[in-house]
């Protein structure tokens, strides 16, 4: 029988988080470990932090899942919006496997969070088009149709009023331009209207740090699409990365078919 306790790692712009996940329940086992993302976040520096996280976790499995802040295609980083540009063209899986001694299965970090939310959270069992948007240093996205993930959508890089969307509205933009919640809410509503015109989603789920303050800017959201906050909170990236790694190795969990 394959173990269903898998280490999931979530690489972010400011922190690298990890925990062992019970993927049948979608829950963390033990404490979540968080280490600072190195500056600059070069491949070798990030790999060293992940190796340290693995050691601290006490994990004794054969493989890990890693949510990574980039377009990840066949294990290779194709972008680097919120991490050092030297990652572009780097095989994330090969580098981390060499550093940790374990097989590493990598995916886009927002896709990992979305997978967790669709499997265990508010998207569970939903058909139609569901979009998770993570609001953090940038805007991440994970798009699902009838429960199936469309990988690497990167909808935070759409253009809005001549801006890259995540430069116009995100946690970074809110701080940089000293936005009130009114200003942030109105800008984010403009972004949601743009998304609605392009994809007509049945549900938009908000994750990331600012989603915890949704009540502060919700009054300024009037898009017709239903908008709600994520259920999995800040553990979603870890849980989704672990789940994706397991299913890449063994196929979809029987209980979720």
String of DSSP letters for 104-115 = EEEEEHHHHHHH
Q: What pLDDT is recorded for position 1? A: 43
Taking each helix axis from N to C terminus, what angle separates 92-100 and 43-57, rounded to the nearest 10 degrees?
A: 50
**Shared-domain flag, residues 141 and 55:** no
Q: What percent of the chain has pLDDT over 90?
A: 89
Q: What pLDDT is recorded for position 9? A: 98
**Shared-domain flag, residues 147 and 95:** no
Q: pTM for the complete prediction?
A: 0.92
**Shared-domain flag, residues 211 and 129:** yes
Position 20 pLDDT exceeds 90: yes
**Shared-domain flag, residues 226 and 245:** no
**How many folded domains does the chain comprise?**
2
Q: What pLDDT is recorded for position 209? A: 84
In a domain, 116, yes or no: no
What's the whole-number average pLDDT of the chain?
Answer: 94
Residue ranges of alpha helices (H) inside the chain are: 43-57, 92-100, 109-120, 165-168, 171-176, 181-199, 214-217, 236-250
**Shared-domain flag, residues 165 and 70:** no
The residue segments making up the domain with residue 54 are 5-108+241-256
Q: What pLDDT is recorded for position 208? A: 87
Q: What pLDDT is recorded for position 233? A: 77
Q: Per-residue pLDDT averaged across 81-106, rounded?
A: 95
Model confidence at 256, pLDDT cuts 50, 70, 90, reads: very low
Domain at 212, CATH number: 3.30.420.40
Measured at the CA of 129, the angle between CA 218 and CA 139, to 5 degrees, comes to: 50
CB atoms < 10 A from the CB of 84, how many? Answer: 17
Q: What pLDDT is recorded for position 232? A: 86
Phi, psi of 74 (to 5 degrees): 55, 40
Q: What pLDDT is recorded for position 13? A: 86
In a domain, 198, yes or no: yes
**Shared-domain flag, residues 9 and 67:** yes
Position 87 pLDDT exceeds 50: yes
- Give the Cα separation of 179 and 158 in Å (integer): 21
Position 6 pLDDT exceeds 50: yes
Q: What pLDDT is recorded for position 255? A: 47
Q: What pLDDT is recorded for position 81? A: 77
Q: Per-residue pLDDT averaged across 135-142, rounded?
A: 93
In a domain, 132, yes or no: yes
Q: Per-residue pLDDT averaged across 142-170, rounded?
A: 96
Model confidence at 2, pLDDT cuts 50, 70, 90, reads: low
pLDDT tens by residue, 30-53: 899 999 999 999 999 999 999 999
- 3-state secondary structure at position 138: coil
Position 174 pLDDT exceeds 80: yes
């Amino acid at each position: 029988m394959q173990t269903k306790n898998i280490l999931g790692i979530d690489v972010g712009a400011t922190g690298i988080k990890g925990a062992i996940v019970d993927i049948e329940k979608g829950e963390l086992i033990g404490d979540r470990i968080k280490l600072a993302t190195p500056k600059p976040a070069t491949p070798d520096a990030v790999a060293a932090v992940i190796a340290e996280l693995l050691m601290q976790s006490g994990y004794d499995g054969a493989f890990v899942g890693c949510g990574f802040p980039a377009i990840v295609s066949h294990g290779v980083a194709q972008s680097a919006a919120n991490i050092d540009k030297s990652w572009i063209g780097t095989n994330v899986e090969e580098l981390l496997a060499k550093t940790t001694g374990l097989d590493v299965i990598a995916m886009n970090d927002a896709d990992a969070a979305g997978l967790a939310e669709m499997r265990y959270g508010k998207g569970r069992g939903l058909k139609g088009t569901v979009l998770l948007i993570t609001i953090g240093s940038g805007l991440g996205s994970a798009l699902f149709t009838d429960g199936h993930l469309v990988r690497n959508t990167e909808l935070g890089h759409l253009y809005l009023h001549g801006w890259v969307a995540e430069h116009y509205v995100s946690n970074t933009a809110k701080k940089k331009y000293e936005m009130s919640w009114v200003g942030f809410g109105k800008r984010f509503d403009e972004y949601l209207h743009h998304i609605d015109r392009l994809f007509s989603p049945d549900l938009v789920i908000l994750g990331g740090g600012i989603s915890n303050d949704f009540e502060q800017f919700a009054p300024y959201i009037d898009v017709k699409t239903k908008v709600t906050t994520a259920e999995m909170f800040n553990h979603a990236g870890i849980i989704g990365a672990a789940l994706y790694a397991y299913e890449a190795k063994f196929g979809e969990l029987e209980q979720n078919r």
